Structure 1
């Protein structure tokens, strides 16, 4: 049996490919070796769905946020090995997942707009160029954390429309102290900040919310896509909830910049299933 995982900072999609062609699925919490130790990830992996297949999985293709550096890959490998003793394990970056899921075996630019953001230039076989991913404090332009952070900044400084502010208070019962406690004292602040994006999407008919997305997407294109050679001639593809649920705004911004968006997926997992089924 083959196990495929696509893990971001907020969630992990797991798929088991059975010999008879059936596919089993499960969604768990996200894993990120930049913010979690191998031991913490191993504890997170001890879920019934995975433990039930522990002795049957022979191959694992794990794609995850924070898995670009060899030492981070080694930590994820160690965590997986603690659950799957006999499997051949391959740990790769979430950019590879985005590229393989959206481009398959064709060339293009692949982007991630989820809790965080990232991008790469893909030649159909491998990633040939990518932009720096500076993380949720210094980067992640266009991602949910960055958009949520701007929203919370505007909330604290009372620089948003009163109806939006009042609706946010009613929905989330937030105050400045609650926000700062979650951001500075609680674990996973990036997830917390990104969690406000659903509310912003629901109110995107309001110009304030629309431009939160629009301005952040422009910043993403400028720092990522527009720096790849020949970007206006290449198909640009996206994975991630922020891109998927706000794709009309994303396409508006792309059209302004002469960028051709081809595919937008909420999650790369189904594309990865097709990729690996066709590769065996």
Structure 2
């Protein structure tokens, strides 16, 4: 059997595939080796994975995860998984490559992740050829939930929102300025806190103010990531992630202004990643 995982920092989606392409889906906590200890990963494997599958039936494990670009982190996870999946060939790589394979298959293209955070790459049909460093939510995350959430929260706290939106925001997110700032600067997951406000904007993407804010973030994504790739207009740009998927009409509008042809939009990569490995690999 083939076991495939797409892991972010908070959640990992898994699919077990048999020879007849029967698929079983389940989820665990995220397994970013920078954010969670190997002991905690072991506990999750034993409490969740082992109750869902027989590890001896798995002959291939394809794991694509956030935090898995460095060889030392790949080895840490491979060594850990090999103690459970003793009959399996184990493959560990970065979630950006998984996104590219889910979006493009064996074709060349530009790939964008636009979810909680953002990332991008130029994919040659097999591997990542170029990658503009993502750099995280403090420095970058253009076009992502953290970017949109940061702008709407800033504008709310400075009383820059239209009055109707300010009233709606205050109703949904009650609190004083100090409450927001304490959560932001003293909380354990400030990036997810910021990204939580993006839903307010994307749920109102037909509102002129919200639409322009989303557009501003997508323009920033193009200016700071897309245009830095070699001959970027020679490739279609493909998008995975909840923000890009929900706001694809606005993304297409921005892409057109940059002379960029758009391709595929998917909310999450796992199903397409399973297809890639079952049919093309």
TM-score (norm: length of structure 2): 0.91
Do the aligned partners of residues 173 and 97 (structure 1) sit closer, same or farther apart at CA in structure 2, a change above 3 Å counting? same
Residue in structure 2 matched with residue 102 of structure 1 by the alignment: 103
1:79 CA displacement = 4.8
Partner Cα separation in structure 2 for residue 239 and residue 50 of structure 1:
29
Bigger mean CA deviation after superposition, 70-79 or 236-245: 70-79
2:9 touches 2:35 (CA, 8 Å); kept in 1? no
Paired residues of 1:60 and 1:89 also in contact (CA < 8 A) = yes
Which residue of 2 is the match for residue 188 of structure 1? 189
Which residue matches 2:94?
93
Q: How far did 1:85 drift? A: 4.4
TM-score with structure 1 setting the length: 0.91
The CA deviation string for residues 161-188 of structure 1, in whole angstroms up to 9 with x for no partner, is 2222221222233432332233233322
Would you say how many aligned residue pairs link Structure 1 and Structure 2? 280
- For 2:17, the equivalent position in structure 1 comes to 17
Q: Does 1:248 align with 2:220?
A: no
What do residues 18-48 of structure 1 show as CA deviations (whole Å, max 9, x unaligned)? 2332100123433323333323333444443
Which sections of structure 2, spanning at least 5 residues, go unmatched? none
Q: 1:210 aligns to what?
A: 211
Q: Contact between 1:34 and 1:66, CA under 8 Å: does it hold in 2?
A: yes
Q: Contact conserved, 2:111 with 2:239, CA < 8 A, in 1?
A: yes
Query: Match of 1:263, SS?
Result: strand
CA RMSD of aligned residues (A): 2.0
**Shift of the alpha carbon at 1:81?**
4.2
Counterpart of 2:141 in 1: which secondary structure?
coil
Match of 1:39 in 2: 39
Deviation at 1:104, TM superposition (A): 0.6
Aligned equivalents of 1:151, 1:73: Cα separation in 2: 37
Unaligned stretches of 5+ residues in structure 1: none
SS in structure 2 of the partner of residue 219 of structure 1 = helix
User: 2-side partners of 1:72 and 1:158: how far apart?
Assistant: 44
1:71 shift after superposition? 2.3
